[in-house]
Each structure stands twice: as structure tokens, then as C-alpha cells.
Amino acid sequence: VINKNKFLTSFWLCLSVLSQLTGSGGVAGAAVSDEEQTGIEASREVEEQIGIYKGEFLANYVDAVGRRLVASLDNRPYRFRFKIVDQAESNAFALPGGHIYVSRGILAQINSEDELAGILAHEISHVMLRHHAQRISQVGTPGLLALPGQVVAKIVGDDISNMINAPIQSAGQVYLFSYSRSQESAADRAGMQLAAKAGYDPAALGNALDALGKTLLLAGGQQTSSFYNSHPTTSSRSADFYALATQIEWRATRPFAADRARFLDRLNGLWWGPQNPSNGVFQERKFVQADMRFTMTFPDGWRLVNAPGYVGAFEPNQKALIVLGGAARSMDLSASAQALVAKFKDEAAVSPAESRAIDFGSWPGYLVRFEDRSGVEPVNLYYMWVKSPRAAFMVIGLGTDEYCDQLENAAFSLRELSLGERGSIYSDRIRIAAAQENESLTELSSRSGNLWGNEMTAVMNGLSTDVVLEQGALIKVLRRGLYWR
């Protein structure tokens, strides 16, 4: 089930997927080749907008379990692919043509290979049953930029769309997909049977959903889009899981992770929380990127976005935005500016109000500013190119006159990250702690520096809060450390 989190922006592909696959015939009326092509295009957007989690050991493990499940299908019309998205929410979803994604958030919360297999088998079943979303709900404002004007429409919109890899009109949108109750039930049954056929416990998906529901409650219900929300375990559905599981014959296969130690070894070091420091993090409205060693401060009160290809801020009333993306390190600053000026003259007959070289500390840069007076309200357009020793950047900002100061303050705040700022970036990761004889979770947490409370630690490990641990029992804990040393 596709359910994107609050940090996912520009997920415009949802509309194109449905327009191609639904219509009068729905997915069932589409050729497999059409589904595969749509899936390829959609997966490209997923990976550009959410990002793929960098962890080869864990990614190979997920792929191996997925392939074992696929090998147990009676027929295989699709080329299935299994990947981990860099998403904190507990999420799993399938795209047409066999693209299956699980989030790092859901992987952190599972406690066995059987649970992973249950989740993957469920999503494989949605693909094999050729389900499509029955309902789309749009979260956020309908359309980002309400700034009329020919320059914005003809040139700047395309430039920003190219930077964020999505149409400017849909930037900042979140589309939530859900399946019908009958489709979910069908995927439950087919997924459990597939898991069992591959040698996994068919009841494990129910166990995983129960645990995810408890985690959500402990988090205060703050994950507005998660696998659990799209696969809610009502009392009747939970009973159905276990009733069906008792009717399915299965024989356990040899797992890829031979024991709990080897299973947890694959989760050790997994990032936890909404921001992955390797992609940069927001500290309130200041964005800091330790690896590329830059920082930029965005306007107060604007909606902040940190996507794999860009970082930016969007004014809530849709009257301004500013985005920063990468540029070719070999670019010539002056030549880039001159090419843009020529483009504006040729396509919109507009000359720059300002065009000059500018320094960002020791970093050279170039600024070009235009004024678009063709709409109801004048719009100021800012383009900047900046080169640091490690990277090159392009900044685009636009807004009505009242936002000029905020746009300029944000743009000119781009600078090198100081040593002190680099040292302020922390990382929260899943770590594995070995228990001492007769130790309680409270005692283990105190000794291991665990950031989770007792209830969360218990749920994350599939235990009761009053468990008495055996010597050497391996427990997932959450630890914080400096990201950059």
C-alpha cells in the first residue's frame, strides 16, 4: 500500500500511475508490459523523492527474502525488485510491475525473518492480484505556487521542476493510497499462503501488525501515514489472521539469518528517527550538511523539505519558495548566469534587474535577479550559483514583493559549516545490547545508554515490560552518538 510520510514531497507520480492503470478497465485491463513501464517510471520518482537507504548488508538480506518468496509463486509475470526506502515511518508499499519497498522504520521494528517475509508476501500479493488504489486522499494544499505570470509559468516552473524532479504544481504534496477492504483481505490470504509455501510462519504478519500498532500508540499516534494505518489490525482482522494461519500447512525453511544474533546483526546501526544525518538535517530552520560541509537557514514558519536531490522551504500561503540543489562542479559561474539571461530574453523578453558576481565567504558565487510583472502580483525571481571546494550549488527563490527580504536572507545565509556546527549533529541508531543474567529491561537500558523507555524497548523486541532476561539475550536499543568526528 502506498502511504507516503510527511517528509515526502512531490509525489506526483500517483496521478499518472492511476491515469494509466485505472480508467474503465482498471489494472485488470492493462497489459503486463504497461504495468511494468508505469512501475519503472513510478519507482524512479519514489527513489528520487524519498531516497534509497544506504546499507548494502541489510538491502541484500531484504532482497534475498523477497526472491525466495517470488520463487514460490506458481507463475511470475513480473520482475520483482525489493528495496529499502530512507523513510522513518513504518511503511511498505508496492508499485505496478513488481517494485516492492519497505522503509527503514518498519525494518527497525520487526523481530524475525518470518515477519519480514509476511510483510513482503502481502505486498507481492497486491501486485499479483493486480490491485489498484481505490481511493486517493490528498494531504496538504492543492497546488504549491499560486503565483501567476508568464515567466514563472514558462521558465522558472520548469527550472524548479527539473531540480526537484517533479512538477512545481505538485511540490509539497502528499498523496495517500489505500486499498478496499476486500482487496486487503485477499492480499492477507494470498500473502499468508505465499509465506507458508516459502517456508515462513503464516501468522507472522499478524504479529508484526500487532507490534506496529503498539508502537504507534506509544508514539502518540503521530505517524499519520504508516503501514499500520493502511493495514489496521482490528480485533476481527487479527482473529482472521490467526484463524487462517491454523488452517495453513507449512514447513519451516532454513532462514537466511540462522539465529536471532545474525538477524539482529543486519539491523545493527540502522538509522532511527525522521532525519538521516548522512542526508543533512534540519536544526529548527537551519539546515546542516556535515558531509558536504555547508549550512543554510530558511525563513521562519515556512514548510521545510529535505529530499534526496534538494532542500527547500515553502511559504504556507503559496506565495514564495526557495530551493537548493546540486550543480555540476565543472560549471562556470559567469557562463551559467549568461546562459540564463539569454534564455529569459529569448523565451520571455525579460532582462535581469540584477546580475553580478558575489562571494559567500571564501566561496565564489553569482546572482541573477528578475522581476516578473506579467501577473496580477509582481514576482521576484532569484537564481544563484555557488561553488565550494566539495560541491557546487544552485539556489532558486521566488516570491511576491513582501517576501524579498526573507528570500534574500535565506539565500545569502548559505555558507561553510563550522567545526562546532559539525560537532552538533547527532545520530540515533539501532544498536544491539547483550543482557546480563536476570537483568530487567530497565537495568539493561540504564547500563547500555538506551534512549527508549521501558514500554518502547519491550515492543521493539517483542517482549513484555516485566521480562527477566537471560544471560546473553540480545536486545535492540537506541543509542545517540556524534555523526561527525
Q: What is the mean pLDDT of residues 439-457?
A: 97
What pLDDT is stored for residue 174 in this prediction?
Answer: 41
C-alpha 411/C-alpha 340 separation (Å) is 18
Q: Is the dihedral of CA 70, 72, 73, 77 positive or negative?
A: positive
Q: How far apart are CA 49 and CA 13, in angstroms?
A: 10
| Dihedral-angle region of residue 221 (phi above 0 means left; psi in -120 to 50 means alpha; beta otherwise) | left
Confidence of residue 185 (pLDDT cuts 50, 70, 90): confident
pLDDT given at position 100: 95
Average pLDDT over every residue of 390-402: 94
Q: How confident is the model at residue 447 (pLDDT cuts 50, 70, 90)?
A: very high
Helices (H), 436-482: 441-448, 454-460
Burial of 446 (0-12, 13-18, 19+ CB in 10 A): exposed
At residue 420 the predicted structure's pLDDT band, cuts being 50, 70 and 90, is: very high
Q: Which of 266, 130, 125, 121 is closest to 208 using CA atoms?
A: 121
Question: pLDDT at position 146, please?
Answer: 56
pLDDT, one tens digit per residue, over 83-126 is 999 999 888 999 889 999 999 999 999 999 999 999 999 999 99
What cell numbers appear for 291 in the block? 558531509
Can you tell me the distance from the alpha carbon of 61 to that of 119, in angstroms, rounded to the nearest whole number?
A: 14
Predicted pLDDT at 365: 97
Task: Give the pLDDT of residue 182.
Answer: 83
C-alpha cell at 259: 539465529
For residues 318 and 322, give the distance between their C-alpha atoms in angstroms, rounded to a whole number: 12
Amino acid identity of 68? Answer: R
One-character DSSP codes across 34-45: HHHHHHHHHHHH
Joined together, the cell numbers standing for residue 63 give 532482497
Q: With cut-offs at 50, 70 and 90, classify the pLDDT of residue 135.
A: very low
| Kind and range of the H or E run holding 92 | strand 92-95
Of 195 and 169, more confident: 195
Q: What percent of the chain has pLDDT over 90?
A: 62
**How many other C-beta atoms are found inside a 10 Å radius of the C-beta of residue 382?**
21
pLDDT of 69 higher than 90? yes
Q: What is the pLDDT of residues 236-251, one digit of tens each?
A: 667 788 889 999 999 9
Q: Higher-confidence residue: 231 or 322?
A: 322
User: Which of 97, 67, 105, 101 lies closest to 84, judged by CA?
Assistant: 101
**pTM of the full predicted structure?**
0.84
Give residue-wise pLDDT tens across range 257-283: 999 999 999 999 999 998 899 999 999
- In this predicted structure, what is the pLDDT of residue 189? 93
The values of phi and psi at residue 460, to 5°, are -65, -20
